[in-house]
């Protein structure tokens, strides 16, 4: 047991696809989700398939769960007393950490900076305030670097997950997802995709997928042409850029031999970065995003949030005539959120309560 009372070794509800493929690799991992996530055909859109990362857990799913599986395991291995996340008010990563850490159990902390007030972000912020351990909501992003620095200083006892968990260890979770996809293609559950479409923010998921597909190719688990990964930018430059994605993909690829796997090379020609779906800023609602969300609703496909998945959904709708199977990476959790805690929300700072009110009226801004 460590000082927070965590079991050093948490039972794995599934085998991490990375470790299943390369058994000698040294990758820390706690199982938080139910894997493999399903792959489904969406025939109404033609040769379009869904990777149901949204349904990776009934507690809270989405792409950030795989990032957290390696990073939380690393925190436990370092005997950290508390795991911190940093992000925007509506951070999916912060919410996923809070809801899953309660089950481990593991103490958490969250530092959140302001963002565009939207219903999607407000839903998450209400859940974070209602269920978070220590939640610090900043009035301005200007003080964010100070908090980041303070948390880094406390790193000996408190584990810090950077925004998006965009470090090679976090991206290894998505390397595993690529190997899982390779297994599903071999099992005949989905044809080898020619295109993968997903939202890119911190770059963690996209970089991990690029490294994972390259690894799958290297270990002869992907004999088909490597798909083009269409990363749809949802955060501004320079947080998200082609250079940043490739940098993390290469760093993740270097991590693979360092942890006992083979050497892997990233092929930059497999990455396309799309910037035209971004709109006027991070979390700003776009018309194309709203239309994509409505289309997904009509087809009873997973819900698309206006910050991330709706923007990649809008791109998908533009790509449906591209030749070959298209695979949409469903990154936003579709798990119902636990009920709000009215007392905690009433005790939130006044500027947060007015931000939450504003968010409700910004549905079509």
Ligand X SMILES: Cc1ncc(COP(=O)(O)O)c(C=O)c1O
Region from 62-70, 184-192, 259-267, 278-286 binding ligand X, contact rule CB under 6 A: 62-70
Contact string 200-219 vs ligand X (x = CB under 6 A): xxxxxxx-------------
Q: Does 62 bind ligand X (CB under 6 A)?
A: yes
Q: Which 134-153 positions form the footprint of ligand X (CB under 6 A)? A: none
Which position among 89, 144, 296, 308 is part of the footprint of ligand X (CB under 6 A)?
Answer: 308
Minimum CB separation of residue 50 from ligand X in Å reads: 14
Indicate the residue among 62 and 289 with the shorter CB distance to ligand X: 62
Indicate the residue among 180 and 305 with the shorter CB distance to ligand X: 305
Minimum CB separation of residue 93 from ligand X in Å reads: 5
Q: Which 79-98 positions form the footprint of ligand X (CB under 6 A)? A: 92-93
Give how far Cα 208 sits from Cα of 7, 33, 275, 326, Å. Answer: 28, 17, 20, 19
Q: Does 64 bind ligand X (CB under 6 A)?
A: yes
Indicate the residue among 6 and 195 with the shorter CB distance to ligand X: 195
Q: Does 110 bind ligand X (CB under 6 A)?
A: no
Contact string 213-252 vs ligand X (x = CB under 6 A): ----------------------------------------
Q: Give the 3-state DSSP-derived string for the chain, with helices as H, strands as E and coil as C.
A: CCCCCCCCCCCCCCCCHHHHHCCCCCCCCCCCCCCCCCEEECHHHCCEEEECHHHCCCCCCCCHHHHHHHHHHHHHHCCCCEEEEEEECCCHHHHHHHHHHCCCCCEEEEEEECCCCCHHHHHHHHHHHHHCCEEEECCCHHHHHHHHHHHHHHHHCEEEECHHHCCHHHHHHHHHHHHHHHHHHHCCCCCCCCEEEEEECCCHHHHHHHHHHHHHHHCCCCCCCCCEEEEEECCCCCCCCHHHHHHHHHHHHHHHHHCCCCCCCCCHHHEEEECCCCCCCCCCCCHHHHHHHHHHHHCCCCCCCCCCHHHHHHHHHHHCCCCCCEEEECCCCCCCCCCCCHHHHHCCCHHHHHHHHHHHHCCCC
Indicate the residue among 67 and 130 with the shorter CB distance to ligand X: 67
Which position among 111, 332, 352, 355 is part of the footprint of ligand X (CB under 6 A)?
Answer: 332
Which position among 309, 327, 356, 359 is part of the footprint of ligand X (CB under 6 A)?
Answer: 309
Minimum CB separation of residue 94 from ligand X in Å reads: 9
Q: Does 282 bind ligand X (CB under 6 A)?
A: no
Contact string 180-199 vs ligand X (x = CB under 6 A): -------------------x
User: 330 and 50 in contact (C-beta within 8 Å)?
Assistant: yes
Indicate the residue among 6 and 304 with the shorter CB distance to ligand X: 304
Q: Does 45 bind ligand X (CB under 6 A)?
A: no
Minimum CB separation of residue 169 from ligand X in Å reads: 13
Site for ligand X, rule CB under 6 A: 62-64, 92-93, 164, 199-206, 305, 308-309, 331-332
């Amino acid at each position: 047991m460590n000082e927070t009372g965590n079991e050093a070794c948490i039972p794995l509800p599934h085998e991490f696809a990375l470790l299943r493929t390369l058994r000698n690799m040294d990758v820390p991992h706690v199982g938080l989700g139910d894997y493999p996530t399903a792959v489904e055909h969406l025939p109404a859109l033609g040769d379009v398939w869904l990777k149901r990362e949204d349904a990776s857990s009934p507690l809270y799913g989405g792409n950030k769960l795989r990032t957290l599986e390696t990073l939380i395991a690393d925190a436990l291995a370092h005997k950290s007393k508390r795991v911190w996340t940093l992000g925007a008010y509506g951070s999916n990563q912060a919410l996923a950490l809070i809801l899953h850490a309660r089950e481990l159990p593991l103490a958490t902390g969250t530092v959140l900076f302001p963002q565009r007030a939207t219903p999607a972000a407000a839903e998450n912020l209400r859940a974070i305030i209602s269920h978070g351990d220590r939640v610090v909501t900043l009035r301005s992003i200007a003080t964010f670097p100070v908090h980041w620095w303070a948390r880094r200083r406390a790193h000996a006892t408190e584990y810090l997950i950077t925004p998006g968990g965009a470090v090679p260890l976090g991206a290894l979770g998505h390397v595993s997802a690529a190997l899982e996809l390779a297994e599903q293609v071999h099992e005949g559950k989905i044809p080898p995709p020619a295109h993968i479409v997903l939202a890119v923010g911190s770059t963690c998921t996209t970089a991990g997928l690029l490294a994972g597909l390259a690894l799958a190719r290297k270990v002869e688990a992907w004999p088909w042409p490597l798909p083009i990964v269409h990363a749809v930018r949802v955060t501004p430059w320079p947080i998200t850029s082609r250079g940043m994605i490739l940098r993390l993909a290469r760093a993740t690829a270097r991590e693979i031999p360092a942890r006992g796997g083979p050497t892997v090379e990233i092929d930059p020609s497999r990455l396309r970065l799309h910037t035209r779906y971004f709109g006027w800023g991070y979390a700003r609602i776009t018309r194309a995003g709203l239309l994509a969300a409505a289309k997904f609703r009509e087809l009873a496909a997973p819900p698309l949030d206006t910050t991330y998945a709706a923007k990649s959904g809008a791109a998908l709708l533009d790509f449906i005539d591209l030749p070959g199977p298209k695979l949409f990476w469903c990154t936003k959790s579709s798990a119902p959120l636990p009920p709000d805690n009215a007392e905690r929300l009433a005790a939130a700072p006044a500027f947060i309560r007015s931000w939450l009110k504003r968010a409700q009226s910004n549905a079509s801004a």
